[in-house]
Structure 1
Amino acid sequence: MYATSESASGGTAADRHAAVEYSTDAEWAGHLVSFVRAGLDRDEQVRYFADATTPGRVTRTLVDGGIDAPAAVRRGQLVVTTAAETYLAGDRFDPDAMIGLWWQSVRDAAAQGYRGLRAIGEMSWGTREIAGAERLLEYELRIHHEVFERLPLRACCFYDRRRVPADALEVLAAAHLARSGSAACPGEPGLSVAPLAGPPGFRLSGSAGWENRRVTAAAAAALSASPAEDVTLDLSALDHLDVGALTDIARAALRRPSDTPVRLLGGPPALHRLLELFPELGAGTELGAGTETTGR
């Protein structure tokens, strides 16, 4: 049985899934070397999924940083591969397949005698014209509860500001409860969504309207896929919610494998007016009082 809140990798689930942002090669190298060194020192297996860089460049950079990467590769403690062999191993990006890969990778690391697994994934592929890339936000939201709360795993999602548009970066990075290397004055997305640090669920912040429908759709997909019996959707930080966004949420609630209603917390005044006008949108949900915290 794996630990649920604390793991061999240290810290809580909220700490162990981080968005790491950088703007220069030197910043990338600094994050890489410190993260890998910590994993090797803790007798964990370390995996790196390259995209904009090459596996050879990763190992050379580690050597330049004082790490005997070739020896770690030979003994199987360091595995450097590519996004094409992991995130994109099928004909499209599939969050369910990637979640399964994390579970298998943790089992493999344990079978080889390692105390845990840590990984770095370069995420620049998510903003290219790749089949399934539109599901990246759904994936980032789901893995907090489906992976990091349940497995001895620590991972950094590497986001290169030179390759990922600023608006997409803000939305994707906001889906992590831990974030490092962020710009001094980052722009705020019109709508962001993050997993709750406590109970299974998500928190929407900002304005949920037509212009942010892709974010709402990703949140709805994560909601419908959640295996948890009880799920909370915190709307207390929403300034606006239109009928289209509420429809996405209502349909997702009805698609869930559990028959337990999704608990809605807070929400703008428009939420209650919409439920009065369209009571069918309340099917699969129940209104609650109070506000959940995200640990941010």
Structure 2
Amino acid sequence: MPVARRAAARPEPDSPEGRHSSVVFSDDRQWAEHLGVFVRSGLERGEQIQYFADTTAPERVLRALTEAGIDAAGAVTRGQLSVSVAAQTYLAGSGFDPDTMIGLWFDAAEAASASGYRGLRVIGEMSWGARDVAGADRLLEYELRVHEEVFAHVPLTAWCFYDRRLMADAYVSVLASAHLTHRGEPYAVPALRVAPLADRPGLLMSGSAGYDTRDAVAAAAAVISGAAARTELDLADLRHLDAASLAVLADAAAGRPGGTPLKVRQAPSPLRRLLQLFPELDSVVEVVDR
């Protein structure tokens, strides 16, 4: 299967696109290496570091850091490092809610700054997304939203840990490809890739949108319908768009707040035909070809 290829020019670590990374691994050695690199860098930069565990015991995280030569105990004592579990963070309350989680990032970054740290660093184990957890079906929506809604505004660096032993490869591919920066093992290119645009509000959709990718289309639609700012949907690399997916995206565009149009770049022929049949959509969709 084809694997994702990263651009030769990597985003700057302090840019929004460089601070939100997917990390894919399949054994404990890789997990510990990524963990050590992340925490050591945060300590050197004077940032506060938080680890949100799911299946990993907090004491195991601290032990791995100590074995890597990092004074984890000292960092915990002075408040620079903390390890908590998903039930206290992502899944606090009745389940996962992207809106609540996005608000919490602002609060956490503000608290880190008030404590004298240069920024906030977070690792999140995302394996809970593959279980029957309330709100887990909104995980892709969340990964797509945080680039524009969080990382463009607050000094936060986050690595999302995807353990192949706990998540299906197809699901890992969809979630990992929603990040602009990737570390660790390569992953197969999903049938439909949905990712945030690096330089402006909006989404990139590439590949094929059909019945098998309806969950990814629904996540994209949720982002489109909820974005108040001018938003762009880049479809230049979309090879196929079936009628059901087209209807979902059209409904999302029509339901956008404030009447701001959705700019669609390189709209495929089915969408152009839909606009011809329903001219009232002209007020909610703006097609551009460059």
The TM tier, using the shorter chain, reads: over 0.9
CA deviation after TM superposition for structure 1 residue 274, in Å: 3.0
Aligned pair partner of 1:90 in 93, 101, 104: 93
Distance 2:279 2:164 in 1: 43
Q: Which deviations, in whole Å up to 9, do the C-alpha atoms of 1:227-275 show, x marking residues without a partner?
A: 4x21001111111112211221122123222321010011322221233
Distance 1:133 1:286 in 2: 32
CA deviation after TM superposition for structure 1 residue 10, in Å: 4.4
Aligned ranges for residues 142-161 of structure 1 at < 5 Å?
Answer: 142-161=145-164
Distance 1:114 1:187 in 2: 38
Deviates more, 1:9-18 or 1:203-212: 9-18
Aligned ranges for residues 1-296 of structure 1 at < 5 Å?
Answer: 10-183=13-186, 186-227=187-228, 229-280=229-280, 282=282, 284-290=284-290
Q: Which deviations, in whole Å up to 9, do the C-alpha atoms of 1:126-162 show, x marking residues without a partner?
A: 0100011000000000000000111111110000011
CA deviation after TM superposition for structure 1 residue 169, in Å: 0.6
Structure 1, gaps ≥5 residues long: 1-8, 291-296
Distance 1:59 1:207 in 2: 43
Distance 2:85 2:282 in 1: 44
CA deviation after TM superposition for structure 1 residue 175, in Å: 0.3
Distance 2:141 2:135 in 1: 11
CA deviation after TM superposition for structure 1 residue 189, in Å: 1.3
CA deviation after TM superposition for structure 1 residue 23, in Å: 0.8
Report the count of equivalent residues.
279
Q: Does the CA contact (< 8 Å) of 2:179 and 2:195 recur in 1?
A: yes
CA deviation after TM superposition for structure 1 residue 281, in Å: 5.1
CA deviation after TM superposition for structure 1 residue 288, in Å: 1.1
Distance 2:222 2:132 in 1: 20
Q: Does the CA contact (< 8 Å) of 1:120 and 1:158 recur in 2?
A: yes
Deviates more, 1:268-277 or 1:206-215: 268-277
Distance 1:35 1:97 in 2: 25
Q: Does the CA contact (< 8 Å) of 1:118 and 1:155 recur in 2?
A: yes
Distance 2:31 2:154 in 1: 26
Name the SS for the 1:114 alignment partner. coil
CA deviation after TM superposition for structure 1 residue 280, in Å: 5.0
The two structures have a TM-score, normalised by structure 2, of 0.93
Q: CA RMSD, aligned part only?
A: 1.4
Letter in 2 for 1:230: R
Q: Does the CA contact (< 8 Å) of 1:22 and 1:182 recur in 2?
A: yes
CA deviation after TM superposition for structure 1 residue 11, in Å: 2.2
Distance 1:243 1:277 in 2: 14
CA deviation after TM superposition for structure 1 residue 187, in Å: 2.2
Distance 2:133 2:281 in 1: 33
Distance 2:60 2:238 in 1: 43
CA deviation after TM superposition for structure 1 residue 278, in Å: 4.3
The residue number in structure 2 matching 1:6 is none
Distance 2:137 2:28 in 1: 27
Q: Does the CA contact (< 8 Å) of 1:247 and 1:281 recur in 2?
A: no
Q: Does the CA contact (< 8 Å) of 2:267 and 2:289 recur in 1?
A: no
Name the SS for the 1:131 alignment partner. coil
Structure 2, gaps ≥5 residues long: 1-11
Name the SS for the 2:236 alignment partner. strand
Q: Does the CA contact (< 8 Å) of 2:24 and 2:164 recur in 1?
A: yes
